[in-house]
Chains A and B, each alone.
Chain A
Amino acid sequence: MLKFLKIFLPAGAGAASMLSLAYIAADQFVVDIPAPIREAIELNAAQAQEAKEAKAAAAAELAARNEELAVAGLAPSVAGGYGLGRDAMVEEIAAWDDDVRPDGQGLPEGSGDVWTGEEVFVEKCSMCHGDFGEAVGRWPVLAGGFGTLTRKDPVKTIGSYWPYLSTVFDYVNRAMPFGEANSLTPDEVYSITAYLLYVNDLADDDFTLSNENFTEVRLPNEANFKDDDRMDVEFPQFVRPDICMENCKETVEITMHASVLDVTPEETAARKAAEEAEAAAESAPEAAVESADAGIDPALVAEGENLFKKCRSCHQIGEGAVDRTGPHLNGVVGRTIGSNDGFNYSGTLADAGAAGGIWDAETLGAFLANPKSAMPGTKMSFAGFKSDEDIAAMIAYLQSAGGQ
């Protein structure tokens, strides 16, 4: 297949052949040409002939290839392409081309130290990954797990499993924080990466990671990755033309039942809940909707719904909403602060609720504008909405989608 691509490359040879042709034309009129020049011209003529032949061969190869493609019902190639699409601009490539490879290709200029990394991590990552990468709930564990890869339940972390540090940088930069991807500065990504090395005991607390020293860092498990060898190790064993069809074994015993574990989701329960919700929706239609939406600007609600995308990774709202990384937000407007049964609130929110605090336009407004200053110590990592309009839209949406 690669050979096939090369047929588009001899374009450069075209220029050389033009030059030779000029010499040959000149040759018609000039009688007395010194030997070295004549030799050069002959050489050029030979090259021109070669290029011509190569071009013809390429065209023939393309034609033959297209014939094969046609027989297979596949789309034909055109020499030099179909001429569709447009040139990508340098600025456009720069805007999107931010991937990073193990050899350091793609690393932006910048640096970050462990201490800064800890601050950023605790603020933006710890609500899912824990303060030290130990993870909350089923979110990925990022640190530790050394020596567990051969055990029954291996703990595959950056330190114990990942082969390359560039993967950490690339992934954090492109996909984290979950729910607000692509929002970190290069320095922040360097600092988070440095912190993740530190919590894995792979860097000291005074370590600074930068584009200068990045490729010097090697992760301990790199050598334990091998390319797929199934074709050598497994395939020959499982090609079995004479596999047994009759009397293949004497006895058969059941060695394990799934029902012993009973981890299958209960369909009947799910269906019942759906039916109940449907019945409820049918029996109490417009009245409920009206009371919840009375006086709320639908445009504002729609705007709030759009903004809620930033919250969705941690919070649920609406039918069937449950606590996740953050508490569910049904009925949050007008609710006592920190009052979802069973949710593990930070001290500040629990205290505010115990003191009789209510989420109203004022408290919610202040919290959404700057969570960390309104409720110091909150585990919510969100930095806050910048405009009053966004805050109004969010409160309108919470009221509309979550009821009062």
Chain B
Amino acid sequence: MDMKFKGTKPSRRSFLTGALAAGGAVASASVAQGQATPDPLITEKQPWRQFLGAGVDEAPYGMPSEHEAHVIRRTVPWLTADPISSINFTPLHELDGIITPNGLCFERHHGGVAEIAPEDHRLMINGLVDKPLVFTMEDLKRYPRENHVYFLECAANSGMEWAGAQLNGCQFTHGMIHNVMYTGVPLRLLLEEAGVKTNGKWIMVEGADAAGMNRSIPMEKALDDCLVAFKMNGEALRPEQGYPLRLVVPGWEGNMWVKWIRRIEVGDEPWHAREETSKYTDLLANGVARRFTWEMDAKSVITNPSPQAPITHGKGWTVITGVAWSGRGTIPRVDVTIDGGKNWHQARMSGPSLNKSMHRFYYEFEWDGKPLLLQSRAHDNTGYVQPTKNELRAIRGENSIYHNNSIQTWYVNENGEAENVEIS
């Protein structure tokens, strides 16, 4: 029975048949208390105990167990006009710790995945510099490197939820995020190499893909903590993450982290490119649009239980876990409620607390089998506390698409099944 729940989400249909499933879940829980007949998995000899398994080199590049085949990125087809300029989502409900495995990092492309051999890649710096320069990948790897763990969140993460609860699963509501360790060269060193002229206040970064993705970034940020990265989690960037070279813009919206970066132009003004005017601007209720909303506000979500990961063990000890992050720094504290915000409990933070990285939290409790209304709220190191959806709507209306960092609510019914809801 337990296995059946795995990787499925309770749609309205399965919700209706949920009662049936509950019987099984409860039964298995009671069985765990006192075993009636011996477990054949223990009493009978299993083939894996007897016969040899695969040798080394069976898979020169290792892959996850076949039992994890459901742990994949998923897309929401109706979101975009076509599958090339589109998006898929990280399966947050299947992950733990703070690092996202490379193959599960969500993808967002505007012109598909550019296929570039590293020896064919060039990075140019031009504009208001003393020396316009061209770098090869080999050149870049001769600069001092830095390693940093940063989250990358798409500004449109949770964007479908402004007008109301829409998607059943934290993969879909919050999965436009990943958190990996980057290895790369500080952008500062490359700009110093070219010599920025005194009136160079902005840079424009441009990708080598079929979208020619371009964004403006203020010089102060460019010189502060941006990286030109070629590795993620120790290995080369995945093609869909910008192989062989991408920009890393810590704490700022994902669209600025230009993949396949090929050019940096220094200028005295911003460019107002399409992705910072028509898109990635936040339209408020009064018709005014905020632009250059780069920083990602503090945010958190409970990943388990959640609609794709219901409670399958019945009453008793239950682990609530989730992730939190802030574009302004670290997350010293996350509060969790199981009664829809009447009472809050400080969650247990576990794992490294790194600047502009994802953080992991846990809250363990004894479930009494009654329905739950689960929420988490992040506090970042500036004292900012993640707001409710209604608090954000009061300021921004429902049309701003981007930067929805509000508190997420999951309703968990008696069967342990979870649903995306909004509450008073």
Q: How far is the CB of B340 from chain A (nearest CB, A)?
A: 4
- The distance in angstroms between the C-alpha atoms of A244 and B263, with both chains bound, is 49
- Do B84 and A312 have beta carbons less than 8 Å apart? yes
Complex alpha-carbon distance, A276 and B39, angstroms: 33
CB of B166 within 8 A of chain A?
Answer: yes
A167 to chain B, nearest CB (A): 5
Pair A262/B12 contact, Cβ less than 8 Å: yes
Decide if A156 touches B278 in the complex (CB within 8 Å).
yes
- List, in ascending order, chain B residues with CB within 8 A of A270's CB: 74
Q: Are B81 and A137 in contact (CB under 8 A)?
A: yes
Q: Are B188 and A77 in contact (CB under 8 A)?
A: yes
- Flag whether A246 is at the interface (Cβ < 8 A): yes
Instruction: Confirm or deny: A101 has a beta carbon within 8 angstroms of a beta carbon on chain B.
Output: yes
Interface centre among A88, A92, A152, A255 (most CB of B within 10 A): A88
Closest to A97 in B: B126
Q: State whether the Cβ of B235 lies closer than 8 Å to any Cβ in chain A.
A: no
Do B211 and A175 touch across chains, with their CB atoms under 8 A apart?
Answer: yes
Q: Which of B8, B111, B193, B269 has the most CB of A within 10 A?
A: B193
| Contact across chains for B343 and A248 when beta carbons are under 8 A apart | yes
Q: Are B342 and A167 in contact (CB under 8 A)?
A: no
B271 touches A99 (CB 8 A): yes
Known: A9-B198, A256-B422, A267-B74. A139 touches B81 (CB 8 A): yes
- Of B24-32, B43-51, B57-65, B285-293, the one touching chain A: B285-293
B346: A residues at CB distance < 8 A: 245
With contact pairs A5-B192, A97-B265, A228-B290 given, residues A85 and B139 touching in the complex (Cβ less than 8 Å): yes
Partner of A174, one of B188, B212, B307: B212
Size range of the chain B interface in the assembly? 35 or more
Stretch touching chain B among A107-115, A229-237, A348-356, A391-399:
A229-237
Which of chain B's residues has its CB closest to A75's CB?
Answer: B144
For the complex, what is the distance from the CA of A233 to the CA of B12, rounded to whole Å?
39
Is A265 in contact with B70, judged by CB distance below 8 angstroms? Answer: no
CA of A170 to CA of B164, assembled, Å: 35
Contact of B15 among A152, A227, A259, A263 (CB under 8 A): A259
Q: Which of B174-182, B311-319, B357-365, B379-387 forms part of the interface with chain A? A: B379-387
Interchain CB contact under 8 A, A150 and B289: no
Chain A: which residue is nearest B377 at the CB level?
A243
CB distance from A242 to the nearest CB of B (A): 10
Contact A170 B273 (CB under 8 A): yes
Interface stretch, picked from A19-27, A157-165, A188-196, A333-341, is A157-165
Q: Which of B372-424 contact A (CB under 8 A)?
A: 373, 377, 382-387, 391, 395, 398-399, 411, 419-424
CA–CA, A233 to B403, complex, Å? 15
- Give every chain B residue within 8 A of A237 (Cβ-Cβ): 387, 391
Pair A152/B278 contact, Cβ less than 8 Å: no
- Which listed segment binds A: B100-108, B129-137, B243-251? B129-137
B11 within 8 A of A: yes
Q: Given A137-B81, A259-B168, are A246 and B265 neighbors across the interface (CB < 8 Å)? A: no
Q: How far is the CB of A3 from chain B (nearest CB, A)?
A: 10
Chain A residues near B383 (CB-CB < 8 A): 239-241
Distance (whole angstroms) from the CB of B234 to the closest CB of chain A: 17
Chain A contacts for B144, CB-based, 8 A: 75-76
Q: Does B153 contact A (CB under 8 A)?
A: no
The reply to whether B7 and A99 contact each other, CB–CB distance below 8 Å, is: no
| Interface residue from A78, A245, A258 paired with B419 (Cβ < 8 Å) | A258
Complex CA–CA separation, A256 to B389 (angstroms): 12
Residues in A whose Cβ lies below 8 Å from that of B340: 249, 252
CA distance A265 to B382 in the complex (A): 37
Asked whether, in the complex, the Cβ of B165 is within 8 Å of the Cβ of A258, the reply is yes
**Distance A261 CA – B191 CA, assembled complex (angstroms):** 50
Task: Give the docked Cα–Cα distance between A96 and B265 (Å).
Answer: 10
User: A386 within 8 Å of B by Cβ?
Assistant: no
Whether B272 contacts A163 by the Cβ 8 Å rule is yes
Interchain CA distance A73-B385 in the complex, whole Å: 30
The answer, yes or no, to whether A291 is at the interface (CB within 8 Å) is no
User: Which partner residue on chain B sits nearest A228 by CB separation?
Assistant: B293
Give bound CA distance, A125 to B84, whole Å.
17
- In Å, the complex CA distance between A92 and B195 comes to 19
Q: Are A262 and B422 closer than 8 Å at their CB atoms?
A: no
Within A290-305, which residues are at the interface with B (CB < 8 Å)? none
User: A97-B265, A256-B164, A258-B421 known; A271 and B70 CB under 8 Å?
Assistant: yes
Q: Check if B121 is an interface residue, CB within 8 A of chain A.
A: no
Segment from A34-42, A177-185, A209-217, A360-368 that makes contact with B: A177-185
Query: What residues on B are CB-neighbors of A357 within 8 Å?
Result: none
Q: When the two chains form their complex, are residues A243 and B272 in contact, meaning their CB atoms are under 8 A apart?
A: no
Q: Are B210 and A175 in contact (CB under 8 A)?
A: yes
| Cβ–Cβ contact A154 & B165, under 8 A | no
Q: Does A285 contact B (CB under 8 A)?
A: no
B133 touches A85 (CB 8 A): yes
Cα of A266 to Cα of B10 in the assembled complex, Å: 9
Is A149 an interface residue, CB under 8 A from the partner?
yes
B294: chain A residues within 8 A (beta carbon): 228
Contacts of A316 in B (CB 8 A): 83
Residues of B within 8 A of A138 (CB): 78, 80-81
Residues from chain A with a CB closer than 8 A to the CB of B273 are 99, 167, 170-171
Instruction: Scan residues 112-167 of chain B and give those whose CB is less than 8 A from a CB of chain A.
Output: 112, 124-127, 131-135, 139-140, 142-146, 164-167
B85, CB-defined interface residue at 8 Å: yes
* Complex contact B214–A99 (CB within 8 A): yes
Residues on B with beta carbons closer than 8 Å to the beta carbon of A149: 283, 287, 289, 399
The docked-state distance in angstroms from the alpha carbon of A84 to that of B138 is: 10
A164 to B75, CA, bound (A): 33
Question: Which residues on the A side are within 8 Å of B329 (C-beta)?
Answer: none
Note all chain A residues with C-beta closer than 8 A to B224: 1
> A190–B293 Cα gap in the complex (Å)?
30
Query: Quick check: B9 and A264 within 8 Å, CB to CB?
Result: yes
Is B368 among interface residues, defined by CB-CB distance under 8 A?
A: no
Q: How far is the CA of A256 from the CA of B167 in the complex (A)?
A: 12
Asked whether A267 and B308 contact (CB < 8 A) given A149-B283, A181-B211, A228-B293, the answer is yes
Q: Which residues of A contact B75 (CB under 8 A)?
A: 265
Other A-B pairs beyond A99-B265, A149-B287, A149-B399, 7, CB < 8 Å: A5-B192, A138-B78, A161-B289, A162-B278, A243-B335, A254-B423, A271-B70
| Residues of chain B having any CB pair with chain A under 8 Å | 7-12, 15, 70, 74-78, 80-85, 110-112, 124-127, 131-135, 139-140, 142-146, 164-169, 172, 185-186, 188-196, 198, 204, 206, 210-212, 214, 219-220, 223-224, 262-263, 265, 267, 269, 271-274, 277-278, 281, 283, 285-295, 297, 307-308, 335, 339-346, 373, 377, 382-387, 391, 395, 398-399, 411, 419-424
User: Can you spell out 12 A-B residue pairs with CB atoms less than 8 angstroms apart?
Assistant: A84-B143, A87-B133, A88-B133, A92-B124, A97-B126, A161-B289, A174-B211, A224-B288, A226-B288, A243-B385, A259-B10, A268-B8
The 10 closest A-B pairs by CB, nearest first: A75-B144, A252-B340, A174-B212, A81-B193, A258-B420, A138-B81, A88-B132, A171-B274, A258-B165, A256-B422
Chain A residues proximal to chain B, CB less than 8 Å: 1-2, 4-6, 8-9, 73-78, 81-88, 92-93, 96-97, 99, 101-103, 105, 128, 137-140, 149-150, 152, 154, 156, 158, 161-164, 166-167, 170-171, 174-175, 178-179, 181-182, 224-230, 233-235, 237-241, 243-268, 270-271, 312-313, 316, 324-325
